[in-house]
Amino acid sequence: MMRTSFLLFLILITTGLFSPSFAQSGSNADLAVSQLLEGNFQLAKKTANDVINNDKNNGLAYAVHGAGEIFDNRMTAAQADLERAVKISPDNGVYNALLADCYWIQNNTATAKKTAEKALGLLRAPKTSLDYFARALAAMVLEKPDDALADYSKAIELNPRNVRAIAKRGLIYNNRKQLDLALADFNKAIELNPRFVVSLYYRGNIYLNQQKRELAIADYTKVVETDPTYADAWFNRAVAYKQLSKFDQALADYAKYLQLYPKDYDAYNNRGHVYYVQEKYDDAIVEYSKAIELAPKVSISYVFRGNCYGRKDQVEAAIREHTRAIEIDPKQIEAYIQRGHLLYRSKMLAEANKDYTKVVELDPKNPTGYLYLGFIHHDKQHFQEAITNYSKSIELDPKNMYAYQNRAEAYDAIGNSKLADLDRKQFADLGGQLNASGGTTRKSIFPLGSFDPALAKAALSRGLSTIRGKACTKVDGLIFNASGVKVVLYPVTPYLEEWYDLREKKEGKKTGVYMSNEANDYVIEAYADSEGRFEFRGLKPGKYFIQVIHSFNQLKTSRIYTGSDVSQNGPVRTTTNYYYDQDYTVARAKRLEKFVEIKEDGENKKITMANGLIKSCTF
């Protein structure tokens, strides 16, 4: 993550363009203003300080000195100087605008806005470049960027060398993503003052966001060469080096930054990222732990450390870290995502589902949450819900090729080959590799709906009824009892009815129709005795579907020809053929099924399961 410093709101005035209230300030104070305008901030502070030593009531000198302190990020001293300037000249709109800006930078919002309102009242009729510049500062405090943009432009029109107004307008363009206009302003400011580090810094940020990393590094380098204390330039140059995989340079820049701000947890996190991408997870843990030590209530640091443990296959430790992050910040989306990944990898689908559901609850536009919800429903063979979630992920991220790939498989599972093929084409168009493969031409398809385990569980709860039955198969006029065969009882649910109807319509030599694995878990099993009898006890009223796959071997006999003998008796020629009987078996399999309804608790049902009417197969 790169840094975006606040743009330093320094007063810059050209000779001859002072407000009337500054005309009495004296030549040395005017010189300080000119130095400030030229970007010689330290010299401007020194000159202003000399004026103050000679004249404790020179408001302009205090204003310039305070502006210089802002540039040095010495906000307490800056506020004291600017409050002194306002005390000397309470009705000076420029001083009040500068003070409002100082309060705003320190997040003293209420006081900043009150002071800005006063400044605007005093600057109703601006005349100089400085007046418009100051009024723009006040407008920004009051969150009126359109008014500020107009005033900065007017300030530049009156003084084309007003570097601060040019840079400030560039920042507004930058915030509005009007990057061409922002770059034009930053370039102009740099042209007027090549050592003006603020414009160099922000131009570097634009280059970094545009992935023009070498250009960004060049600008950041100029910043730190001019001002080695400009911490954020060190920080962002480290970001650029990391993106270029120049890890040693990145670590060196973070070290420089930490010399200036040794208690910045974010820098330790970023340094941890450098180790993380190099798979130096132990070193990364050290950095993330330091960040946690400095800021134990910042949840994202625990997520980063948890990711390291996950990479080391220390799943329990990783889950603890992500859970701690959520305890600190229940809205920490990344913690839910990463914990969800770990739970999903561990086949804890119900728990993972809760985490990904929380992700999309907190961020309805998060494609990752929907993608993994799709994975979970896919794994549970809830294909319609999987498709719905894959489609939402694609809607939010049209380049998510893995959502297309998995949606294709889900479409295949419900028998929609046309849509599956379209998704595979999209997957390939996005760079996915479709490898040639062989396999059976028989398709397996599933119901569109999702199985409801709670409904099935309730249907199988304890009752007082019994179903007794006998299963047998008739082949070639022979009757075969379903001896020792497994008999399966399913509760009739909407999912089972959909499966049955789909099977009636679609099952064939090239297509098999199946229920989900989960649906096959909510059954009662029995085994038939030697005569094919079975029994289910403790059933409650309701509809049931009973299925037997009767697999058996049928013994058959075939006459095998072994040769012949020819004899001649006078004119009679006799041929004798020789055979022997050979037994062999034929594998048979019959699917026997029946819907059974129990209407009253305590009812006893007797059923026959056979492939046709077989009198001897009755119970």
Q: How many CB atoms lie within 10 A of CB 468?
A: 14
CATH architecture assigned to 463-617: Sandwich (2.60)
The 10s digit of each residue's pLDDT in 397-424 is: 999 999 999 999 999 999 999 999 999 9
By the 10 Å C-beta count (0-12 exposed, 13-18 middle, 19+ buried), 91 is classed as: exposed
User: How confident is residue 130, by pLDDT bands cut at 50, 70 and 90?
Assistant: confident
Bridge partners of 490, per DSSP, are 545
| Contact residues for 364 (Cβ-Cβ < 8 A; gap 6+) | none
Q: Which residues pair with 534 in a beta bridge?
A: 469
| DSSP 8-state class, residue 587 | E
Terminal Cα distance for the chain, rounded? 76
pLDDT at 21: 39
- Residue range 5-9: mean pLDDT, rounded: 41
Question: Confidence class of residue 39 from pLDDT cuts 50, 70 and 90?
Answer: low
Structure token digits, residue 235: 């920080």
- CA dist 261 and 294 (Å) reads 12
When pLDDT is cut at 50, 70 and 90, the band that residue 121 belongs to is very high
Q: Over the chain, what is the mean pLDDT? A: 90
Q: What is the pLDDT of residue 439?
A: 56
Residue 3 above 70 pLDDT? no
* 311 pLDDT higher than 90: yes
Non-local CB neighbours of 466 within 8 Å, separated by 6+ positions: 535, 536, 537, 538, 539, 603, 604, 605
Is 98 a residue whose pLDDT tops 90? yes
CATH superfamily of 1-176: Tetratricopeptide repeat domain (1.25.40.10)
Residues 6+ apart with CB under 8 A from 551: 485, 587, 588, 589
Distance, in Å, from the CA atom of 619 to the CA atom of 607, rounded to the nearest integer, reads 7
262-290 pLDDT tens trace: 999 999 999 999 999 999 999 999 999 99
pLDDT category at 211 given cuts 50, 70, 90 is very high
Band of pLDDT at residue 18, cut at 50, 70 and 90: very low
> Under 8 Å CB-to-CB from 532, ≥6 apart: which residues?
470, 471, 472, 481, 482, 483, 485, 617
pLDDT reported for residue 23 = 37
Q: Which residue in 477, 2, 34 sits closest to 273, CA to CA?
A: 2
Q: Domain extents for the chain?
A: 1-176, 463-617
